[in-house]
Amino acid sequence: MTHPLPTPGDAVTGRSWRAWVDGFGPWNAREARLGAAWMFEAGGWAILGATLVSEAMEHVRPWGRVHAPDRSPWEWLVAFAVIGSLFLVGQLLRRTKGLSAPIAIALPLVGTAMQVALNLVTHDATPGAQIMFVVPVVYGAYWLRPAGGLLSLGAVLVALVLTTVTQLPARAAFHDTVYGTSVLVALALVLIASRRTRNRVRAELERRALIDPITGAHQRQVLDRALAESLATPDAAGTALVILDLDRFKVVNDTYGHPVGDAALAFVTRAIRAATRPGDLVCRIGGDELAVLLPGCGAAAAVQRAESMLAHVRDAPMDVTGTSVSLSLSAGVAHAPTHATDVEALYAASDDALYRAKRAGRDRVVVAL
């Protein structure tokens, strides 16, 4: 029997399905895993506590002051089986290493189903039982993406209606459903908005941590990661690294002050960017040194790029309160695999070429040996 070979369309369909599922999945798999563990364990403790308190109060329902019938051994067995299952799932989640999007989505649905089963078996529709529906709503709204949060909310609302309609008189079921729905919807929307705000603030803080505040260039760690990735997936033309140093930067600082020195660094960075391609990466690696990563660039082309960067700075003096200040750069160029094949060696080769450019009189490009 022959099997048809997979087509590109099949791969696209698979990717589209995964992307669709991921749209409901967690913002962060690790956080969602710990949140799910909290959800199941909190549910177990809350149900256990509510059950024991209820028995201690001699089966009196606090909202109606109505004496509840004794629970059968079967009901007690189911109740403690659900409680034990909640604790077990929580502990398993704490010990697992990953949490896929389908599992993250299914967890609040499973928790909701277990709560409904417990309510129906124990014939319990008290507010104390219904309040547990808050837990999967909180999990879905905060740890899942908005679509997943709304899915969890929808499942909980269906469970709420099922519990109240089957366990309460019509009037009480209507009131509990309306009030419960209002509270749960408001809670879910607030948490979804809160999580999205948190994500935006976090992303902005992470972005700022990777951007030099003076020049607007990327920080050293961004260059390290990008260079490692570029060397790990070599291009036919290779990868070049250009390290540049602002000549006589101390003189600029001493003559015009540190604010002008900072402005000179920003001015030079803009000039360098004007001579780069869209895929190139400009970084400040410390003090008055900048670096430009040129992926997919041959050795000869890298030298031409470096010469262009120096020309952009040399040909456009910086204005300081009406005074024209001429600036210049020295540059060292190293190419992989011509001069090195790993990150540290490429850094060393480019840095050595820069040192030789400065010794030779500055304002020039020197290629690694």
CATH number of the domain encompassing residue 306: 3.30.70.270
In whole angstroms, what is the distance from residue 359 CA to residue 356 CA? 5
**Higher per-residue pLDDT: 18 or 337:** 337
Query: Which residue type sits at 305?
Result: R
User: Do 266 and 161 fall within a single domain?
Assistant: no
3-state secondary structure of 58: coil
| Same domain membership, residue 198 and residue 227 | no
Domain closes at, from 208, 230, 251: 208
Do 182 and 267 sit in the same domain of this protein?
no
The predicted pLDDT at position 247 comes to 95
pLDDT at residue 323 tops 70: yes
pLDDT digits (tens, 9 = 90+) for 111-142: 889 888 878 877 777 776 788 888 899 999 99
- Consecutive H or E run containing 190: helix 170-209
Regarding whether 202 and 224 lie in a shared domain, the answer is no
Check pLDDT > 70 for residue 5. no
148 and 18 within one domain: yes
Query: What's the confidence (pLDDT) of residue 335?
Result: 96
Furthest C-alpha separation in the chain: 97
Q: Are residues 184 and 107 in the same domain?
A: yes
pTM, full prediction: 0.63
**Confidence at residue 311, expressed as pLDDT on a 0 to 100 scale:** 95
Judge if the upstream peptide bond of residue 4 is cis by omega within 30 degrees of 0. no
How many Cβ atoms are within 10 Å of 255's Cβ, its own excluded?
Answer: 12
Cβ contact 82:47 at 8 Å: yes
In a domain, residue 213? The reply is no
CB atoms within 10 A of CB 298: 17
Domain boundary residue among 208, 242, 265? 208
Tell me the C-alpha distance between 310 and 331, whole Å: 8
State percent of the chain over pLDDT 90. Answer: 51
Residues 322 and 279 in one domain: yes
Do residues 47 and 135 share a domain? yes
Q: Is 263 in the same domain as 195?
A: no
pLDDT of residue 64: 45
Q: Is residue 33 part of a domain?
A: yes
Which tens digits make up the pLDDT trace of 282-318? 999 988 999 999 999 999 999 999 999 999 999 988 9
* Residue that terminates a domain, selected from 166, 183, 208: 208
Mean pLDDT of 335-362: 95
Is residue 162 domain-shared with residue 240, that is, in the same domain? no
Asked whether residue 2 is domain-assigned, the answer is no
Residue 28 resides in a domain = yes
What is the domain range of residue 201?
8-208
* Residue 1 within any structural domain of the chain: no
Q: How many domains does the chain have?
A: 2
